[in-house]
Amino acid sequence: MPQKAILIVDDSSLARMLLKNIVTQAFPHWLIVEAPNAEACLEKIKTQPVAAALLDFNMPGINGIDLAAKLMESDPKMSIHLVTANIQDMMRQRAEAMGIGFIKKTRIQRRHRKNSWPPRWRTLTYGIN
């Protein structure tokens, strides 16, 4: 069975590092694929299939929701979550209407200090074989 992979897309290298640490604690055997923007992400998934994606919303170029739509086109089974500090209700509703999970970055930072996996992220692996 191939190794499961998760994609982390954020233009902040610090945010990617924080997410990578959290994911590594929760899923130590998963491959972590990183991209600093949507364009790099779309190139990487051409050669590396992923089961799940954690996407920032505010990035240069294509934003996280538009990227999520492209990822859903390429793999409708991919588990996708927006991980963002942008907590506007309209953006959150749009993500939920698309079936995308939503996780606030502020919660991640607090949980990471406590060294615990955010409970809402349990849905990250739902449906992934």
Pure H helices in 1-129:
13-26, 38-47, 64-74, 89-98, 105-114
Q: How far is CA 23 from CA 93, 94, 98, 115, in A?
A: 25, 25, 23, 11
pLDDT digits (tens, 9 = 90+) for 65-89: 999 999 999 999 999 999 877 677 8
Residue range(s) defining the domain that contains residue 34: 5-125
pLDDT digits (tens, 9 = 90+) for 3-22: 899 999 999 999 899 889 88
Domain count of the fold of the chain:
1
Question: CATH no. for residue 90?
Answer: 3.40.50.2300
